[in-house]
Structure 1
Amino acid sequence: MLRRCFLAFLALLAAPLALADDALWQRLQSGGYVLLIRHAATIPGIGDPPGFKLAACATQRNLSEQGKRDAAAIGAAFRERGIPLGAVLSSRWCRCLDTARLAFGRVEEAPMLDSMFQDSEAAGRAKVREVLARTSAWRQAGSKDNLVLVTHDVNIRALVSEFVAQGEIVVAQPVDGRLQVVGRLPLSTVVQRRVP
């Protein structure tokens, strides 16, 4: 009996989240949002091995097999829901490029999205300014698509002050020279609640 009550309580807690996710997906169908996507799951570790090179994926911390499956599932969820996507921009790190390719089948390298993990404060601020300028210009152009930015947790924190899990999506809109968070799509809801 206690277990049944506990499960019912958990279901009640999850219901508003599911409704919020459904409403956010509906909003995305109209376009005009910036999707900040943290790369999908990687092999264990933090950062990259010493001496890694951007041009050599074998020297970096890359997607795990689960991360590859998750990235493909993210793309499938967007296609199944008919979400219009414009440019897909990515950090030049292989885990981000691979996430974008597996999810959306295309990607454009964007150094402004490169990891800020080891950047100086000035270099990090410069990247944030460039992303904000790019998203503001995109917004002013009146795009009917959604702009996809695949990057790293540290970059998303610098842009919108949100901590994100691997594969999680922050939905934002450019407002007055910054990105205003509209909602979040946790990977678990994107992958598990796909349209039948």
Structure 2
Amino acid sequence: MFRFLLVLLLFLTPLPASATDAGWALLRAGGHVVLLRHAMVTGNGDPAGFDIEKCATQQKLSERGKQQARKIGALFAARAAPIDQVLSSRYCRALDTAGIAFEDNKAEKFEPLDLLSKDSGAAATQNAAVIKEVESFTGDGNLVMITHLENIQALTGAGAREGEAVIVGVDGEKLRVLGRIIF
């Protein structure tokens, strides 16, 4: 029984690595768009008194999140995944992820990547703006868009761990997941 479980475990273990390897292959080729969920944070939500302009009022990257962001940047460089542009939510945890991971590529704030609005009309407008940006990207490198779980779920129908990269393409009014990279 123990051998069976060990063999089963060994058989199942390569799946995330294969998905991650396939994701890197896409990014090495360039011309793709990555929805990157910000790195790990402290707490479970923004504290009372949240202000988009004041980082002191927002969730922050944890020490582990800062390490994760450094790893993300190091792996993009080590795997020769070219980056044309980095767009980020205006939330400090997303901007900090961008700054630590992609310091050479100054992140531009892109409001539609902010935490998805609870108002359905505003959320639809946000998603449409992100999809338009994905559709219009024609770079030789890759476009990295740093955002939040709710946004990735609404755009793709799939979740993402903190610091996970979801490589996407346009599929009608949604984005289709082409690959994933787990950091």
When normalised by structure 1's length, the TM-score is 0.86
Structure 1 partner of 2:108: 108
CA offset at residue 76 of structure 1? 0.4
Structure 2 partner of 1:186: 182
Give the SS at the match of 1:180: strand
Paired amino acid for 1:92? R
CA distance in 1, matches of 2:154, 2:8: 35
CA distance in 2, matches of 1:8, 1:50: 49
Structure 1 partner of 2:29: 30
**Cα deviation digits, residues 135-186 of structure 1 (max 9, x gap):** 1111xxx321111000000111111111111111111123445422102112
Count residues with an aligned counterpart: 181
Does 1:163 find its partner at 2:137?
Answer: no
Q: Structure 1: which 5+ runs fail to align?
A: 188-196
Structure 2 partner of 1:133: 132
Paired amino acid for 2:11? L
CA distance in 1, matches of 2:177, 2:10: 26
Q: Paired residue for 2:170, among 152, 170, 174? A: 174
CA offset at residue 84 of structure 1? 0.7
CA distance in 2, matches of 1:94, 1:62: 7
**Distance of aligned partners of 1:127 and 1:52 in 2 relative to their CA distance in 1, 3 Å threshold:** same
Note if contact 1:133-1:177 (Cα within 8 Å) is conserved in structure 2.
no
CA distance in 2, matches of 1:84, 1:69: 21
Alignment of 1:74-93 (within 5 A): 74-93=72-91
Give the SS at the match of 2:51: coil
Give runs of ≥4 in structure 1 deviating > 6 Å: none
**Cα deviation digits, residues 93-142 of structure 1 (max 9, x gap):** 000000011111121111010111x531111000001111111111xxx3
CA offset at residue 27 of structure 1? 1.9
Paired amino acid for 2:16? L
Please identify, of 124-133 and 8-17, the stretch whose mean Cα deviation from structure 2 is larger: 8-17
Structure 2 partner of 1:16: 15
Note if contact 1:32-1:173 (Cα within 8 Å) is conserved in structure 2.
no
CA distance in 1, matches of 2:135, 2:150: 21
CA distance in 2, matches of 1:156, 1:44: 20
Paired amino acid for 2:118? D
Task: Give the CA RMSD over aligned residues.
Answer: 1.6
Paired amino acid for 2:62? S
When normalised by structure 2's length, the TM-score is 0.92
Paired amino acid for 1:40? A
CA distance in 1, matches of 2:169, 2:30: 10
CA distance in 1, matches of 2:14, 2:148: 29
Note if contact 2:27-2:142 (Cα within 8 Å) is conserved in structure 1.
yes
Note if contact 1:153-1:164 (Cα within 8 Å) is conserved in structure 2.
yes
Paired amino acid for 2:80? G
**Cα deviation digits, residues 23-63 of structure 1 (max 9, x gap):** 221121111111001111000212x1122111111111111
CA distance in 1, matches of 2:131, 2:81: 23
CA distance in 1, matches of 2:32, 2:173: 14
Paired amino acid for 1:112? P
